[in-house]
């Protein structure tokens, strides 16, 4: 077994690998950039080595720095995780040349599957069905346009060296092909250093089905069944599950056999995922599932496979890399129950899913109840673990990249955690995961937790009626703005009142009464003879008002009540101190909680976060939506500028393209107008809030 493992990655996957290594008694070495100096994976590893500055190209992507760290710490193996160098054949060769164990497939397999066009040709030769399209060497725009016209629209442009949806564009008509091609090539060049593309027929009712395969260096290849990764946004996976809903035994046999043939065709070793596109217009059929690509690494969504099989795939990787045979034969593997995974991203659905960065002042995830598997030493333990794995009780697993007090930066992928639920029945697993998403409480970074819950709770998803267009077709419903409930607003208003009262008491120590000094219009209070006060406050840009009513007294002190629309919350005085009994969550209200922050209150409800503040603060920080300033929503690099001073533009016209967190984001005109000012140039780096373009209305 490997003695000391260097993990050439960061975040959630590094922590995941460390957990298995600790269980197996393998020492770990973490590497980190300046942005990750205080990250959890650095603290949890046995040793840690700084690689360089925050940008990945200056740290995590520097082969020579990673190898130097391995030599410095005496590591005898390297695990690349996923992303970064995980599918870099040159790096795999360099690791082996340095006398280290590479926890991954041979470099030859990585190269064979690394380019989508050659991989599809290889698979076709091995009898694996492939999607019709264009795989030619001629990459001139004119030839690609001609081939797209021949294939017929809609057509899919895909980066030859791509993955994760980067460098991918769907084109619905010939008129939009050239613009889509340019964007796909730029994104592919930025992400992979290779702007070549291929074209595929776009399947109109596609489902993304993938098969987990494993191979050792003794000639054995097995599959660990399929996963359905159809819920995607911009070709990025959002929710994954195993097994695939609606998969018949005949279709499963066909797709898993094709995946095993694919692995055998390239002399594969270790963990890999063979990805297929299925035409689900008539359900999942074995003769309508086509090879897309093979990911020569562990996948982000591997936990759902672990949960339905009872196996630790990282342990399998380490054992195979150490020269051991696969822990189980194919006939010893079986599907037990159903598992669903949701990717928690630092992004704001209310702003078109723009990434959200900054410090994590509040970061509370649901409590996991999935115990780690027992320590094992080979085949016998693997068999026992699979046989004893529970299938009925709902279990929750949480794999997190960050912790409270940390920071989400612009330099890396915005995924901050994965929530995974397992149960005997699919519906139980889905509902359990939705409930977990509702428990997420993060601030001031925004997340997609409430959006994930909506997806999971949608009747079509609960029925298993899914395809890769699921989110797009229901975008308005799934991303509609939400407001806190009246009951929650009352609780937030009560806390605002308490904050105002405490501030008043601090300023007027000679007047301990909480009403003293709070009247003068700044806080929006009005007090009358009936012992009522009016409180005006702002919740996410919406103005609200509340009544604070004296309700009497008791042994506990004076009693008050805060009323907002149809909701209310109690208040009382204890030893002269205002107290809101509803500050804590209760079993009848499990998804609502409050957090005190500078300038106001954060209300967490059902996965959403709402900032409540008094009106003077709201006015001081309100943005002017009609002043014509188009701001950078996050730090990033300017890709292109489509506006020039004096140019007339219409509402929605693209003005600037910004690249951040590995994705391109188009910034558009907020209204019809004339460009008065441009402060952006291609290649330039900009900070969040920078005025890039200023318009004047026409």
Residue at a domain's end among 620, 639, 657: 620
Give kind and range of the element (H or E) at residue 274: strand 270-279
- Cα–Cα distance between 499 and 600 in angstroms, integer? 8
Domain membership of residue 115 (yes or no) is: no
Among residues of the chain, what percentage have pLDDT more than 70?
85
Mean pLDDT, the chain, rounded, equals: 86
Do residues 628 and 348 touch, judged by C-beta distance below 8 A?
Answer: no
Do residues 218 and 328 touch, judged by C-beta distance below 8 A?
Answer: no
Do residues 435 and 427 touch, judged by C-beta distance below 8 A?
Answer: no
**Whether residue 275 is found in the same domain as residue 364:** yes
**Whether residue 211 is found in the same domain as residue 305:** yes
**Whether residue 189 is found in the same domain as residue 272:** no
Strand partners, 535: 546
Give kind and range of the element (H or E) at residue 49: strand 47-52
Domain membership of residue 213 (yes or no) is: yes
Q: Which of 177-181, 267-271, 425-429, 530-534 has the lowest mean pLDDT?
A: 530-534
Instruction: Note the pLDDT of residue 529.
Output: 42
Domain membership of residue 406 (yes or no) is: yes
Cβ neighbours for 442, distance < 8 A, ≥ 6 positions apart: 360, 362, 363, 364, 449, 609
**Whether residue 544 is found in the same domain as residue 440:** no
Instruction: Note the pLDDT of residue 162.
Output: 74
Mean pLDDT, residues 210-225: 97
**Whether residue 24 is found in the same domain as residue 76:** yes
285 is catalytic: no
In 3-state terms, what secondary structure has residue 559? strand
Among candidate residues 15, 288, 297, 441, the one labeled active-site is 297
**Whether residue 57 is found in the same domain as residue 11:** yes
pLDDT tens profile 388-418: 555 445 799 999 999 999 999 989 999 999 9
Domain membership of residue 458 (yes or no) is: yes
Domain membership of residue 306 (yes or no) is: yes
User: Tell me, what CATH number does 236's domain have?
Assistant: 3.30.470.20
- Cα–Cα distance between 601 and 491 in angstroms, integer? 10
User: Tell me, what CATH number does 682's domain have?
Assistant: 2.40.50.100
- Cα–Cα distance between 28 and 103 in angstroms, integer? 13
Residue at a domain's end among 148, 170, 201: 201
Angle value at C-alpha 178, between 174 and 183, nearest 5 degrees: 130
- Cα–Cα distance between 79 and 547 in angstroms, integer? 60
Residue at a domain's end among 151, 174, 201: 201
Total tally of structural domains belonging to the chain = 5
Enter the tokens of residue 411.
């330099």
Mean pLDDT, residues 121-141: 90
Domain membership of residue 420 (yes or no) is: yes
Q: Between the CA atoms of 468, 470, 472 and 478, what dihedral angle is there, to the nearest 10 degrees?
A: -140
Domain membership of residue 603 (yes or no) is: yes
Among residues 506, 519, 340, 358, the alpha carbon closest in space to that of 444 is found at 358
Instruction: Note the pLDDT of residue 117.
Output: 77
**Whether residue 267 is found in the same domain as residue 221:** yes
**Whether residue 312 is found in the same domain as residue 213:** yes
CB atoms near residue 64 (< 10 Å): 9
Do residues 534 and 521 touch, judged by C-beta distance below 8 A?
Answer: no
User: Tell me, what CATH number does 64's domain have?
Assistant: 3.40.50.20
Strand partners, 547: 534, 563
Mean pLDDT, residues 464-486: 92
The pLDDT-based confidence of 290 (bands split at 50, 70, 90) is: very high
**Whether residue 603 is found in the same domain as residue 632:** no
pLDDT tens profile 581-624: 544 444 445 567 877 787 888 999 999 999 998 875 333 333 33
Task: Give the burial string for 481-519 (b: 16+ CB within 10 Å, else e).
Answer: ebebbebbbbbbbbbbbbbbbeebbeeeeeeeebeebbe
Domain membership of residue 120 (yes or no) is: no
Which structural domain range is residue 651 located in?
623-697
Enter the tokens of residue 595.
């957090």
End-to-end, the C-alpha distance of the chain in Å comes to 71
User: What does the H/E/C string look like for 480-493?
Assistant: CCCCCCHHHHHHHH
The pLDDT-based confidence of 519 (bands split at 50, 70, 90) is: very low
**Whether residue 492 is found in the same domain as residue 416:** no
**Whether residue 367 is found in the same domain as residue 496:** no
Mean pLDDT, residues 282-310: 93
- Cα–Cα distance between 327 and 319 in angstroms, integer? 8
**Whether residue 185 is found in the same domain as residue 229:** no
Do residues 677 and 614 touch, judged by C-beta distance below 8 A?
Answer: no
């Amino acid at each position: 077994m490997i003695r000391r493992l260097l993990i050439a990655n960061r975040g959630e996957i590094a922590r995941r690998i460390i957990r298995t290594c600790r269980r197996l008694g393998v020492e770990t070495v973490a590497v980190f950039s300046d942005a990750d100096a205080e990250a959890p994976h650095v603290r949890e590893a046995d040793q840690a080595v700084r690689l360089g500055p925050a940008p990945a190209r200056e740290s995590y992507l520097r082969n020579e720095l990673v190898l130097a760290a391995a030599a410095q710490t005496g590591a005898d193996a390297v695990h690349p995780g996923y992303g970064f160098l995980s599918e870099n054949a040159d790096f795999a060769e360099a690791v082996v040349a340095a006398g280290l164990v590479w926890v991954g497939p041979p470099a030859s397999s990585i190269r064979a599957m690394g380019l989508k066009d050659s991989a599809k040709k290889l698979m076709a030769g091995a009898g694996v069905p492939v999607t019709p399209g264009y795989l030619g060497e001629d990459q001139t725009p004119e030839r690609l346009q001609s081939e797209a016209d021949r294939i017929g629209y809609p057509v899919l442009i895909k980066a030859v060296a791509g993955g994760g949806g980067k460098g991918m564009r769907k084109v619905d008509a010939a008129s939009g092909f050239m613009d889509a091609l340019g964007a796909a090539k730029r994104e592919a060049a930025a992400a992979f250093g290779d702007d070549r593309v291929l074209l595929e027929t776009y399947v109109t009712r596609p489902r993304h089905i993938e098969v987990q395969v494993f191979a050792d260096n003794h000639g054995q290849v097995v599959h660990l069944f399929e996963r359905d990764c159809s819920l995607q946004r911009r070709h990025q996976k959002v929710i994954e599950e195993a097994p695939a809903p609606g998969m018949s035994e005949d279709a499963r046999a066909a797709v898993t056999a094709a995946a095993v043939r694919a692995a055998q065709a390239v002399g594969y070793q270790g963990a890999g995922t063979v990805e297929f596109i299925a035409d689900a217009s008539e359900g999942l059929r074995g003769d309508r599932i086509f090879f897309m690509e093979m990911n020569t690494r562990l996948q982000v969504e591997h936990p759902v496979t672990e949960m339905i099989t009872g196996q630790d795939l990282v342990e399998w990787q380490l054992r195979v890399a150490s020269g051991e045979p696969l822990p189980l034969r194919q006939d010893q593997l079986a599907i037990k129950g159903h598992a669903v995974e949701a990717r928690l991203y630092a992004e704001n659905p209310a702003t078109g899913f723009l990434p959200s960065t900054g410090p994590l002042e509040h970061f509370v995830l649901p409590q996991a109840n999935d115990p780690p598997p027992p320590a094992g030493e080979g085949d016998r333990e693997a068999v026992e673990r699979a046989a004893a794995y529970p299938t009925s009780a709902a279990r929750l697993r949480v794999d997190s990249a960050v912790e409270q007090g940390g920071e989400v930066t612009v330099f890396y992928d915005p995924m901050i955690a994965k929530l995974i639920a397992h149960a005997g029945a699919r519906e139980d697993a889905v509902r359990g995961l939705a409930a977990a998403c509702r428990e997420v409480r993060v601030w001031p970074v925004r997340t997609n937790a409430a959006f994930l819950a909506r997806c999971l709770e949608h009747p079509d998803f609960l029925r298993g009626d899914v395809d890769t267009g699921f989110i797009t077709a229901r975008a308005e419903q799934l991303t509609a703005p939400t407001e806190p409930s009246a009951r929650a607003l009352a609780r937030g208003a009560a806390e605002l009142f308490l904050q105002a009262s405490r501030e008043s008491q601090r300023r007027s120590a000679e007047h301990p009464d909480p009403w003293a000094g709070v009247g003068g219009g700044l806080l929006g209070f009005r007090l009358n003879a009936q012992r009522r006060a009016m409180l005006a406050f702002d919740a996410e840009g919406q103005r609200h008002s509340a009544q604070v009513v004296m309700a009497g007294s008791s042994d506990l002190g004076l009693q008050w009540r805060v009323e907002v629309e149809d909701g209310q919350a109690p208040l009382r005085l204890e030893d002269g101190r205002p107290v809101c009994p509803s500050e804590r969550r209760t079993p009848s209200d499990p998804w609502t909680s409050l957090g005190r922050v500078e300038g106001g209150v954060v209300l967490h409800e059902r996965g959403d976060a709402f900032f409540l503040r008094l009106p003077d603060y709201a006015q001081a920080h309100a943005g002017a939506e009609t002043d014509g300033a188009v701001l950078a929503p996050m730090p990033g690099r300017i890709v292109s500028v489509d506006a020039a001073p004096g140019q007339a533009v219409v509402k929605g016209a693209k003005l600037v393209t910004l690249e951040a967190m590995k994705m391109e984001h188009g910034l558009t005109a907020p209204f019809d107008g004339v460009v008065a000012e441009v402060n952006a140039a291609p290649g330039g780096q900009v900070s969040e809030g920078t005025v890039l373009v200023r318009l004047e209305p026409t």
